[in-house]
Amino acid sequence: MTFDFVTRKRIFTLAGKLVLIIASVILIRSLVMRNSYEIALSSGFLFLMLIIGVTGMWKSRKLKTLEPAWKPPFPMTACANNDCAEGAQTQITGLEASIPLFFRLHFIVRGSFFPSGSEAGCPVLIETSVPRGGTSARLALDFPMSGVFQGEGYCRLRDTFGLFSFFCGQPQSQTVKIRCAPCFGKNIRINAQSGAEDKRNKPSTDEERYYMREYTPGDRLRDINWKSSDRIDTLITRISTDTQEKISRIEVHFRNFYQRAKTGGKKEKGASLEALWLLDRAKARLTYFLRSVKEQNTSFIFDVRTAQGNWEIEDDEDLDAFLEELAGFSLLPPKIENALSSGAGDLYVFSTACDIGLPAFLLACNPRPVTLFLSQPAERRAENKEQVTKGNKQIEAVKFETEKLSMGDFTSKGCFAQARWFVDGKVNPLGVNSGRMEINYAGINL
């Protein structure tokens, strides 16, 4: 990733430019009017700026070989409700350097954040100052939702008066995947009989069919290998290596599809922030489902199908690798899908209101039992209320909880969201029917 070199070469801050202009104007005016007091005052300011500028420039060149390293936490998770744990902050090391008096070393991370793997990113700029005499620092690098961040970390040497800012050290670039903030739902009880496969592992040759060991009390007499026992004068028992294991395969479909609207019949619109937020909440529900089911029985194997490809998750290592990839999944156009597997077990489907092909997909799944987890946009506030009788009074109660995302969630974390995300591509609720269905509601606040 590259950045504009103007920012790196700029040494005057906005305050420094204003002071320089004002002091120069006063000096010129005082020379014309021969005002000795103003000449001394303006010359003093300019001389002080000269000393600070020369000192900062000399020291920044000394720090040219500085190689600060910034290490985001792994896995990096979006923080809900602007509440990020201190241990989850980005660690900055490699700042061993002597800093002149009246100067401070600052570390800056600058780049682009692509929420839910969207095509268009938003600028990110966040910085922290290094304690005097310290060799490390912490940076509150955080994001409001899942996605991918591509950024560059670098140092700047700044004076305490806020007049100069000198680029120093070697910039370090990184690409970081941010997992979605967790969500919690109802525990899903998996019927292990559905989708279960019996697998018998049998060695292919007679020589590998058995292994021998010394006889121990309790072994069956018919398992004793009398010929081998006679040769070595010790009772040897034959043990079969044929084993049988029960494997429960669970088929999961994550439908991250989105039909983009066209503008004027020419160019397609990108996904709105509401659509990206719905996808983020669908990721969170899928993550909770996989983790909670895996905790029920570690022998379960997931066959996960997504718009990006298929995954087979057997253990915690596979699950962690899949969740890291899931963080960068984006909304893709609908495509012709492969036929469903011939299994007769339950099918678990995760989708959003952006998936206009979902009703046809559910119809094609018949007669297999389907459990649907759907992320829907929040309905109007008036529709989200119901009259509940409490004692002798009628009160309004919320029918369902809505997970909200706002512009403030971006700006508070150093992200500058694009305005079109909040006005383009409103997502309408999707009408689908499924035997077992759980709906999560998500909405956007301006």
What is the structure's pLDDT at 75? Answer: 86
Taking only the tens place, the pLDDT of each residue in 11-39 is 888 998 999 999 999 999 999 988 888 89
- pLDDT beyond 90 at 397: no
**Hey, where are the domains in the chain?**
5-179, 203-241, 248-445
What is the structure's pLDDT at 431? Answer: 82
**255 pLDDT tier (thresholds 50, 70, 90):** very high
How many Cα atoms sit within 13 Å of 423 on the Cβ side? 3
- pLDDT beyond 50 at 288: yes
Structure tokens at 203: 């060695």
Taking only the tens place, the pLDDT of each residue in 196-238 is 444 444 444 444 445 677 776 656 777 788 777 777 777 888 7
What is the structure's pLDDT at 341? Answer: 54
- pLDDT beyond 90 at 137: no
- pLDDT beyond 70 at 383: no
Provide, rounded to the nearest whole percent, the portion of the chain with pLDDT above 70.
77
What is the structure's pLDDT at 351? Answer: 92
**350 pLDDT tier (thresholds 50, 70, 90):** very high
Provide, rounded to the nearest whole percent, the portion of the chain with pLDDT above 90.
23
If you ran DSSP here, which 8-state letter would residue 307 be given?
A: S
Q: Please enumerate in sequence order all residues whose Cβ is within 8 A of that of 184, keeping only pairs 6 or more positions apart, or say none.
A: 288
Buried b (16+ CB within 10 A) or exposed e, 91-109: ebebbebebeeebebbbbb
Structure tokens at 19: 């002071």
What is the structure's pLDDT at 437? Answer: 85
How far lies 154's CA from each of 66, 110, 169, in Å?
A: 10, 8, 7
pLDDT, averaged across the chain: 78
**418 pLDDT tier (thresholds 50, 70, 90):** confident
Is 254 strand, coil or helix? strand
Question: Rounded mean pLDDT of 86-109?
Answer: 84
Tell me the C-alpha distance between 408 and 121, whole Å.
17
Tell me the C-alpha distance between 89 and 70, whole Å.
10
Question: Rounded mean pLDDT of 168-181?
Answer: 90
SS3 for 26-80 is: HHHHHHHHCCHHHHHHHHHHHHHHHHHHHHHHHHHHHCCCCCCEEECCCCEECCH
